[in-house]
């Protein structure tokens, strides 16, 4: 009889890991935070009755109604202003831009109203707002819709700026952003929305958050440090797999947060690998990679570098429309492999 004293309990099942798309992870985060805190509401173009331009807010209008999920006119300056005012009055708005290129219409609200108010009021007026939506290049949408704003918003004190890659990043960072008392800019990638990633049971729990300001080592390695954010993290992982077959072990760091930047994780990695390559889809001048290189040069990790740091970036041109030109404008796996071999002199 298996129930006799001393018999072993049955082995516990392995922690459930399921495949979840970035879209569903964001939807989960919004649903959980709308349910958890009645001050949270979502507004933007087509977020309600149409279920969101990218279906991120699917089902939320039916569940929470007109007061919590609000369709707005096509006026970023208007609805971003309403959202900032609501945040100053004690609500916690999530303001969706159909693409961050359109946030230019509302940059006065984001920078002059949201980012600076807490400081200018000596801390007495917090502005707990999230500006979210797709950032960077999509596919075949021309120069006006293909720009990365990580460096723009990362430049501004008063803002926190997050840039997720995986479904776990997307869910955890959005929940952390909604709960934060500061304005947070969340730069998502349209090309990642339908990509599935593994999510643990823990990551799917209602209390799971990813702390803002902490990078994640996606792959440990010993020969070279690769630092990226958003979609290029995936390219770095692919490049690392290619290089691994040639005996080069890359350490891949997923920044997750642009501001405040977790330079300590990068420094610790550079001290171990002695080489640094940064990868981003944005333009090179004054970019995220430029900032990482400057911080490494100014800090203790500089003495560990055995070769100059190398940046892999988007091309320094407005995005062309033609697919072959678009592909050549954005960092590809082969570009990362080439940069690593160059810095390692192989």
Q: Which residues are catalytic?
A: 76, 145
78 near 55, Cβ under 8 Å?
A: no
168 near 127, Cβ under 8 Å?
A: no
How far apart (Å, rounded) are the C-alpha atoms in residues 30 and 19? Answer: 19
Q: Give Cβ neighbours of residue 14 (< 8 Å, ≥ 6 apart).
A: none
How far apart (Å, rounded) are the C-alpha atoms in residues 20 and 196? Answer: 5
Question: What is the dihedral sign for C-alpha 166, 171, 175, 178?
Answer: positive
β-strand partners of 241: none
Other CB atoms within a 10 A radius of the CB of residue 274 amount to 18
Other CB atoms within a 10 A radius of the CB of residue 144 amount to 12
How far apart (Å, rounded) are the C-alpha atoms in residues 133 and 77? Answer: 15
């Amino acid at each position: 009889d298996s129930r006799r004293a001393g018999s072993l309990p049955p082995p516990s099942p392995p922690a459930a890991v399921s495949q979840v798309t970035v879209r569903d992870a964001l939807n989960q985060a919004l649903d959980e935070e709308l349910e958890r805190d009645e001050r949270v509401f979502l507004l933007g173009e087509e977020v309600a009755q149409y279920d969101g331009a990218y279906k991120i807010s699917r089902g939320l209008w039916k569940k929470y109604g007109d007061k919590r999920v609000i369709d707005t006119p096509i006026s970023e300056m208007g609805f971003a202003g309403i959202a900032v005012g609501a945040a100053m009055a004690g609500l916690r708005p999530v303001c969706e831009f159909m693409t961050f290129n359109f946030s230019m219409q509302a940059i006065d609200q984001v920078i002059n109203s949201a980012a600076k108010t807490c400081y200018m009021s000596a801390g007495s007026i917090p502005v707990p707002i999230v500006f979210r939506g797709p950032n960077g290049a999509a596919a075949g949408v021309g120069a006006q819709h293909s720009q990365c704003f990580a460096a723009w918003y990362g430049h501004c004190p008063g803002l926190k700026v997050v840039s997720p890659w995986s479904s776990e990043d997307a869910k955890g960072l959005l929940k952390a952003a909604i709960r934060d008392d500061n304005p947070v800019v969340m730069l998502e990638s349209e090309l990642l929305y339908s990509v599935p990633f593994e999510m643990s049971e823990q990551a799917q729990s209602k209390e799971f958050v990813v702390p803002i300001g902490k990078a994640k080592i996606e792959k440990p390695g010993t020969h070279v440090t690769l630092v990226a954010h958003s979609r290029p993290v995936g390219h770095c992982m692919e490049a690392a797999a290619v290089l691994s077959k040639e005996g080069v072990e890359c350490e891949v760091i997923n920044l997750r947060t642009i501001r405040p930047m977790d330079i300590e994780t990068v420094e610790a990695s550079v001290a171990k690998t002695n080489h640094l390559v940064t990868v981003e889809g944005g333009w090179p001048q004054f970019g995220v990679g430029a900032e990482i290189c400057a911080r490494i040069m100014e800090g203790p990790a500089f003495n560990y570098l055995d070769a100059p740091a190398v940046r892999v970036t988007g091309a320094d041109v407005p995005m062309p429309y033609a697919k072959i030109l678009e592909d050549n404008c954005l960092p590809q796996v082969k570009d990362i492999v080439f940069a690593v071999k160059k810095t390692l002199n192989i």
